[in-house]
Structure 1
Amino acid sequence: MIFEQIATGGCQSYLIGCTETHAAALIDPEVSQLDQYLALAARDGLHIRYLIDTHTHADHFSGTHTLAKRLHAPVVMHRNSPMPFVDMRLGDGEMLMLGRMRIEALHTPGHTRDSMCLRLEDRVFTGDTLLIGGTGRTDLPSGDPLALHDSLFNHLLKLDPALKIFPAHDYKGRKSSTIADELSSNPRLQYTDPAAFAELMNTLNLSMPTHITEALRVNMSGGKSVSQMLDEAAASVPFMSLAALKARVEQADTSLIVLDVRERDAYEAGHIPGARLLPRGQLELRVNQELPDPTRRILACCEIGKVSTLATATLREMGFAGAVALDGGMKAWREAGYPLKTGSEP
């Protein structure tokens, strides 16, 4: 078996491959690590045939949908997954053929209704069902502490105690454990009575994941996160430095249109001398009136550089091939002590 474990903060992803056929599967990929996964697969000569999520993630952004479009590989989840873009839905005990290897799906609801673990040879990928020294939480959408107790004590923990476990999360730098070790040392697994276990899980009072609403929206719809949209926009546009723009402003360079895409109050409080105001929310509606010549070179700026990056990508999509974004924003411009003009005039 070819095996790679990739950590992204506390998130754990796994690339597994057959040494004979080089067929591979990627388990619980995180969207910010896509290039890393592809580089590892290329290094080992692997062909990624399956993209698997062990459950609907609420605390990070899954990379399965994006990779599926890039690799033309199926997204695999449990039958109960709410995702509309899942290509292959597994039931309890069903298997994927990965070259000479077999990946068996074990339905383990509790953390979410669609949670599953994946058994492969000497190991089990436990998702958020069983963690090292803990378990998945049950207070997120479709969580159920009694279902998690049943999944653990009547199913997962009855497997061979020697099996290694590889969870979808670990925040202490630990890579793996075994079922035997968890049975003996995991504090949550000492609550063998269902009612006592449920009471424990219901009184943990854990804080909500930072991006839970956005993560659930993205992971359940196949849409994009704001961060992903920004990354894609940044990869499609050129940038100009603060110093380069300052030099053009001092030279009164009229070949460059500086377009401030903030709201009017922010613009009037202080803007780059000569900059025009065109708020991002009005860009598409007013662009023909404000920018009639698509051959002009245009630089978009905003407060911290994110909105202007999106605006520049939009301008380039609309045919303004000379559009560039400011590397930084008005905050950095002010902190550098560069010239400002107040009021409604450019």
Structure 2
Amino acid sequence: MIFEQFAAGGCQSYLVGCEKHCVAVLIDPEISLVDRYTAAAARDGLRILYLIDTHTHADHFSATQQLAKRLSVPIVMYRSSPAPFVNLRLDDGEMLAVGDLRFKVMHTPGHTKDSMCLLVEDRVFSGDTLLIGGTGRTDLPSGDPDELYDSLFNRLLLLDPATKVYPAHDYQGRSHTTIGAELTSNPRLQRRKREEFVTMMRNLELNMPTHLTEALRTNMSGGKSVAQMLTEASEAVPFMSLEELKAQCELPANNLIILDVRERDAYQQGHIPGARLLPRGQLELRVNEDLPDPTQRILVYCELGRISTLATATLRQMGFDRATALDGGMKSWREAGYPVQSGIE
């Protein structure tokens, strides 16, 4: 077996392959590591056959969709997953054949309705059902402490105590544990009576994941996260430095259109001298009136540089091929001590 574990901010993902047949699966991939996954597979001469999410993640952004488009391979989840983009839905007890490896599905609801664990050889990929020193929480959408109790005590924990456990998350830098070690030392598993366990899970009072709404939205619907949209936009536009813009502004004959895409009150409080106001929310509706010549050179800026990057990408999509984003924003311009003009246009 070829095995590699990846960590990103507490998220754990796994490339597991058959050395003989040079094929592999990728389990619980996280979107910031897309290039690392493909590089690792290429390094080991592996062809990824399946992209697997053990459940609908609420605390990180899955990379399955992006990788599926890049690699033309199916996305795999448990049959009850709400995600419309899943290509292969598995049921309890079924297996994925990956060369000589066999990944057996154990349906383990509780953290989510669609949670599953994958058992292969001497190890189990437990998703968020069983963590190192903990368990998956049950207070997020489709969570159920009674179901988690059954999944743990009547299924997963009945495996051989020597079975290695590789979870989807660990925030303390640990790589894995075993069924036996968790039975002995995991504090949540010491509540072995159903009533005690369920009561404990219902009273944990945990903080909500930082990106809960956005993660669920993107992982369930196939939509894009804000970070993904910003990354794609920044890859599609050129940038101009603060210093270059200042030099351009000082030229006696300057045909550069400087476009401020903030709201009117921010513009009035202080803007780059000579800048025009066109709020991002009105861009598509006013662009033909305010920017009649698509061949002109346009420099777009906002307060921090993110909205202007999106706006520049939009302008380029609309045919303004000389639109450029400021590398930074009005905040950086002010901090650099460059001239600021206040008032209306």
Tell me the TM-score normalized by structure 1. 0.98
- CA drift at 1:322: 0.8
Matched, 1:10 2:10: yes
- CA drift at 1:36: 1.1
The equivalent residue for 1:274 is: 274
Compared with structure 1, are the counterparts of its residues 22 and 264 closer, same or farther at alpha carbon in structure 2 (3 Å cutoff)?
same
Residues of 1 paired with 2:271 and 2:160: CA distance? 67
Tell me the TM-score normalized by structure 2. 0.99
SS of 1:89's partner is strand
Compared with structure 1, are the counterparts of its residues 342 and 145 closer, same or farther at alpha carbon in structure 2 (3 Å cutoff)?
same
- CA drift at 1:41: 1.0
Residues of 2 paired with 1:107 and 1:321: CA distance? 51
The equivalent residue for 2:179 is: 179
SS of 2:6's partner is strand
**CA deviation digits over 1:195-241, x for unaligned, max 9?**
10001101100011111111111110000001110011011111011
Tell me the amino acid that sits aligned with residue 28 of structure 1: D
Residues of 2 paired with 1:238 and 1:174: CA distance? 41
Residues of 2 paired with 1:284 and 1:139: CA distance? 41
Residues of 2 paired with 1:209 and 1:47: CA distance? 33
Residues of 2 paired with 1:319 and 1:43: CA distance? 40
The equivalent residue for 1:160 is: 160
The equivalent residue for 2:198 is: 198
Tell me the amino acid that sits aligned with residue 148 of structure 2: L
Residues of 1 paired with 2:202 and 2:129: CA distance? 16
Superposed counterparts of 1:37-56, under 5 Å: 37-56=37-56
Residues of 2 paired with 1:39 and 1:222: CA distance? 24
Aligned residues: 345
- CA drift at 1:253: 4.7
Residues of 2 paired with 1:196 and 1:41: CA distance? 45
Superposed counterparts of 1:86-105, under 5 Å: 86-105=86-105
Compared with structure 1, are the counterparts of its residues 252 and 172 closer, same or farther at alpha carbon in structure 2 (3 Å cutoff)?
farther
Superposed counterparts of 1:214-233, under 5 Å: 214-233=214-233
Matched, 1:317 2:317: yes
Task: Give % identity.
Answer: 70
Superposed counterparts of 1:1-346, under 5 Å: 1-345=1-345
Runs of 4+ in 1 over 4 A off after TM superposition: none
Tell me the amino acid that sits aligned with residue 148 of structure 1: L
Structure 2 residue runs of 5 or longer lacking an equivalent are none
- CA drift at 1:252: 4.3
SS of 1:198's partner is helix
Residues of 1 paired with 2:223 and 2:31: CA distance? 12
Tell me the amino acid that sits aligned with residue 343 of structure 2: G
Residues of 2 paired with 1:316 and 1:162: CA distance? 57
Tell me the amino acid that sits aligned with residue 10 of structure 1: G
**CA deviation digits over 1:225-275, x for unaligned, max 9?**
011100110111110111111111122452211111111111111000111
Tell me the amino acid that sits aligned with residue 97 of structure 2: M
SS of 1:197's partner is helix
SS of 1:77's partner is strand
SS of 1:137's partner is coil
Tell me the amino acid that sits aligned with residue 172 of structure 1: Q
**CA deviation digits over 1:115-172, x for unaligned, max 9?**
0000111110000000000000000001011110100011001011111000000000
Residues of 2 paired with 1:117 and 1:13: CA distance? 13
Structure 1 residue runs of 5 or longer lacking an equivalent are none
Tell me the amino acid that sits aligned with residue 117 of structure 2: C
- CA drift at 1:46: 1.1
SS of 2:36's partner is helix
